[in-house]
Structures are given as C-alpha cells and as structure tokens.
Amino acid sequence: MNIVTLAKMEVGETGVVDALQGHGNIQHRLVDMGVVKGSHITVVKKAPLGDPVEVKVKGCSLALRMNEAAMINVAVEGGKQ
C-alpha cells in the first residue's frame, strides 16, 4: 500500500490514516477531531490561496494547514474522480 503524507495527496483522493508523526498539542487536537489511526480521510478542496486544505474525516469537514497535513501519514486507497 502506498503511504504518503496528507499534504502530498491530491484533491479527490481518499485513504486511511496510518499514523501521526510526533507527539504534541497538534497531534492531540487532530485526534480529538477524529484524525486517528484507522479513520478514512478524503481531500475535499484547497483554499483559494492553496492552503489550508479541507478534508472529510468521520463524516465531518476539517480545515488543516499544509504544515499539519504533512504530519499525517495516509495509506492512499484511490481517487474519487
């Protein structure tokens, strides 16, 4: 399976969260919002200025900056479109 960071995923791609890099407030916040190992995650769109990125996880839309997206390892399953 192809594991990349969320920041590298294209709009429309979907996958399963594999791991979070590092241990800190950011990671805990992500976990609280449902970005946890095993969650399905889809890249919905990017903001007009290219950053942040909107993802769908556990049925809810989250906005993340690329910095944070780069801390999330995702096993890519495929694109939607």
Minimum CB–partner distance for residue 58 and other proteins (Å):
4
Distance, CA of 24 to CA of 80 (rounded, Å): 32
Q: Which helix (H) or strand (E) holds 59?
A: none
- Tokens representing residue 71 in the block: 């801390």
CB 79 within 8 A of CB 9: no
- Kindly tell me which of 38 and 78 has the beta carbon lying closer to other proteins: 38
Minimum CB–partner distance for residue 10 and other proteins (Å):
15
Contacts with other proteins, residue ranges (CB under 8 A): 20, 23, 25-34, 36-39, 45-52, 54, 56-65, 67-68
